[in-house]
């Protein structure tokens, strides 16, 4: 039996779809270098957040803040990028994962790569508990970014003292 849908609900969905399209268009209009960096950064953040097979709301919000802070996109754009990145990270193979990390390694200077490492740790601990799988993924991404195990250990010691 077909029941008529309430009109307001259809209008709400239409408005939401229009907003998503507008945000996607804004992101597509960014310079190519910016979108490549945005894709790679969002991907590695999602890899760490999803290492325990769950991206909770605190981790998603931390990812959104990191993207907005590091790339200058709006919070709404960051929310859309995070949702896309979460799905990309779940579907990706290791080759794709390495390619995204390599892009960051090649395009970022040392200070920016350290900033990415800070973001990865912030996302893993956003819910108050960095899972072992998330810490393992941070080590993997850090190696792909050109850090040694000693670099990461020294970074962690500095973070604990701060």
Dump pLDDT digits (tens) for 110-151: 999 999 999 999 999 999 988 899 989 999 999 999 999 888
Q: Return d(Cα 64, Cα 62) in angstroms, integer.
A: 5
Dump pLDDT digits (tens) for 51-80: 999 999 999 999 999 999 999 999 999 999
Residues 134 and 47 sit within 8 Å (Cβ to Cβ): no
Dump pLDDT digits (tens) for 43-52: 999 999 999 9
pTM for the structure as a whole: 0.85
CB under 8 Å, gap of 24 or more: what pairs does 21-30 form?
A: 23/76, 23/77, 23/80, 24/80, 26/74, 26/77, 27/73, 27/77, 27/80, 27/81, 30/73
Structural domains of the chain sorted by starting position, each given as residue range(s) with its CATH number in brackets: 32-161 (1.10.3680.10)
> The tokens of 72 are what?
């200058």
């Amino acid at each position: 039996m077909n029941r008529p849908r309430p009109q307001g609900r259809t209008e709400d969905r239409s408005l939401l779809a229009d907003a998503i399209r507008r945000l996607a268009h804004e992101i597509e209009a960014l310079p190519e270098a910016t979108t490549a960096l945005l894709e790679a950064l969002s991907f590695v953040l999602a890899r760490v957040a999803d290492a325990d097979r769950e991206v909770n709301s605190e981790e998603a919000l931390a990812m959104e803040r990191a993207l907005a802070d590091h790339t200058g996109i709006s919070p709404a754009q960051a929310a859309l990028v995070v949702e896309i990145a979460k799905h990309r990270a779940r579907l990706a193979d290791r080759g794709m994962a390495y390619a995204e990390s390599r892009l960051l390694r090649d395009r970022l200077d040392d200070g920016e790569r350290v900033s990415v490492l800070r973001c990865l740790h912030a996302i893993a601990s956003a819910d108050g508990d960095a899972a072992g799988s998330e810490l393992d993924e941070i080590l993997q991404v850090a190696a792909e970014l050109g850090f040694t195990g000693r670099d990461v250990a020294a970074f962690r010691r500095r973070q604990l003292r701060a």
